[in-house]
Amino acid sequence: MRRVLALWAIAAVVASTPSVGAAPPDTAKAKRVPEGEPIIVRPPSTEAERKREMREFTREVIRQPRMNQPVAKFFYPVCVAVLGLAPGDAEVVAARIRDNADALGVGAERKPGCVPTVRVAFMAPAAGPAASWLSMESPQLAHLAGYQRERVLGETGPVRAWNRIAVRDATGQAFRPQLGDQLRFPTFTEIEPLSRTDPIVTTEITGAAVLIARDAADGLTLGQLADYATMRALLGTGSPEGRVPAPTILTLFDDPAPPEGLTEFDRALVSELYNVSRNAKPRRVYNDIARAAVAAERSGRDGN
């Protein structure tokens, strides 16, 4: 039995690695209205109202970047590793995450021996409850800023996830020190921004970790688990709180009838982020995601 020791050496605590998510889709939890919950009939929103609602929901789902920074994303194809499941199940989950990354415009590295930049670990019951996995002093969080560690530790439920972020210049290059100087941020006059309204920096995700309590995965399909991990790894996201105005796999561990996989909102969330320039303002990203999600919704393509 072993615990997670470092971000880049994550190992699930396993006494055994049973098959998880083996239930076929038709045995998944059936959709239902919670008993006693009132049914309220509302008129359909106008397109402008729906875009505004989706934009605000997007702002809630995406973890807010620091002031004057764009939303972080991977700059290069991701290499995926899955731990804590039977080998066959682990490969199914990893393969689906790679397929998602390719389909959504992120890209996936498939060469054997690639260095994993996305690690998903299913934690055995022996690891204890999720609240006990990490602390402010945990070495695997040492690279995070204080506010980022607080985000991870403040998460509730059976999942803990975080991204490793590198701040770069507007073209995606690492900042370089001037002769005789230590590495520092440049002044506004040292970098020509790509746009007068966009930030002069980019933020690259260089690694992502997703820890999931294995017992919480019981009854869920491997596809659902892979799609959930995709959303948590490819951009900084958290579980939605309160009313959820669009289906999303991010409700997997909270919704009694979660989606069977990525929804149109989820696809818009990732693909639109990876479609805009690296230093696009967050507001532009939110608007593009909302517009794409509403367009897909209006076309009737979202069957979840």
**Residue 91 has what pLDDT?**
97
Alpha carbon distance 284, 92 (integer Å): 35
**Residue 28 has what pLDDT?**
43
Residues 6+ apart with CB under 8 A from 243: none
Residue 187 vs residues 56, 175, 200, 251: alpha-carbon distances, Å:
33, 11, 10, 42
Domains in the chain: boundaries: 44-239+248-298
**Residue 167 has what pLDDT?**
87
Please count the CA atoms within 13 angstroms of the CA of 216 that sit on its side-chain side: 22
The 10s digit of each residue's pLDDT in 262-294 is: 999 999 999 999 999 888 899 999 999 999 999
* Residue 12 contacts residue 84 (beta carbons within 8 Å): yes
- Segments of the chain with pLDDT less than 50: 1-16, 23-30, 178-194, 302-304
**Residue 32 has what pLDDT?**
57
Number of C-beta neighbours around residue 230 at 10 A? 30
What does DSSP assign to residue 218? T
Residue of 204, 203, 199 whose CA lies nearest to 281:
199
**Residue 194 has what pLDDT?**
46
**Residue 224 has what pLDDT?**
98
**Residue 65 has what pLDDT?**
82
The conformational region for residue 87 under phi > 0 = left, psi -120 to 50 = alpha, else beta, is alpha
Beta strands 118-123 and 80-83: pairing type?
parallel
